[in-house]
Structures are given as structure tokens and as C-alpha cells.
Amino acid sequence: MSTVLVVTRFDVPEGDSADFLPRAQAALAAFAARPGYVRGRIGRAADDPTVWVLTTEWTGVGAYRRSLSAYDVKVDAAPLLSLGRDEPSAFEVLHAGDAEGTSTGASRRAVDAGDVGVGEASGPAVSDV
């Protein structure tokens, strides 16, 4: 199992709800057209109608990241995502269950993911001396 769940939460003033839903639907449609997309949902908190969520599920983190560079996603989804809460949003699924059963998988996160930054692993080791 290498599924990735992307959860973006939004704080939407009540007066903007009518405009938010169609924008979220357009974002979801743009994602749905990309390879590796599994499913998506738009929801609003039952206890606080100003809190919304957009969730998408992907076959892997690479499929999600590649989707972000697609033209239709840049036009329809990126502006909406920029309004989301500034918090981690992509999660690897380690356990899943439904009416037909459950499945568990090991983390596919790199062992050195916490120590190596973007671009650091691709270059040769050099000395500062």
C-alpha cells in the first residue's frame, strides 16, 4: 500500500460559502483528470459551517506532486489550495479499512527524510574547506 491522502482544510466565512463550493468542485474535477487520482471529497464541518475540507487520494506521492504541475490544476486548484490552512496536508496511508476488510502497509518514507533536505541527496559530497 503506497496510497497518499491529501487533506486541505479551509476557513471560509459564511458569506463566502456559496462561492467556495463551486471553486472546490472545479479543483476536484481538475485533480480527477490527472493520472494516479483515486478519489476526492469536499466537506463542511457539521459543528462549524465555516470550516471546509478538500480531500483527495492518490496512488502515491509522485502522482499527487505531478498533478500540481498540470495546467488545469494550476488554474482551477492551486488558487483554492493557497487559501487552505498552513499545515501539513499530504499523508501516507499506513492502515485502511472498509466493509470488505482492512489492509496495513509499512511506511515508504525514506530513512533519512528527516535529515536530508530537497536537492541535498542529488549532488556529490563536497567539503567546505
Q: Which range marks the domain in which residue 48 is found? A: 4-95
Is residue 109 one of the residues assigned to a domain? Answer: no
Q: What average pLDDT does this structure show over 86-95?
A: 88
Q: How many domains does the chain have?
A: 1
Supply the pLDDT for residue 128. 61
Q: Is the pTM of this model over 0.85?
A: no
Is residue 49 one of the residues assigned to a domain? Answer: yes
List pLDDT tens digits, range 60-89: 989 999 999 999 999 999 999 999 999 989
Supply the pLDDT for residue 92. 87
Question: Would you say residue 116 has pLDDT above 90?
Answer: no
Is residue 30 one of the residues assigned to a domain? Answer: yes
> By mean pLDDT, which of 6-10, 79-83, 122-126 is the weakest?
122-126
Is residue 71 one of the residues assigned to a domain? Answer: yes
Three-class SS string for 19-44?
Answer: HHHHHHHHHHHHHHCCCCEEEEEEEE
List pLDDT tens digits, range 36-54: 999 999 999 999 999 999 9
The model's confidence at residue 108, banded by pLDDT at 50, 70 and 90, is: low
Is residue 128 one of the residues assigned to a domain? Answer: no
Is residue 112 one of the residues assigned to a domain? Answer: no
Q: Assign residue 80 the CATH number of its domain.
A: 3.30.70.100
Is residue 80 one of the residues assigned to a domain? Answer: yes
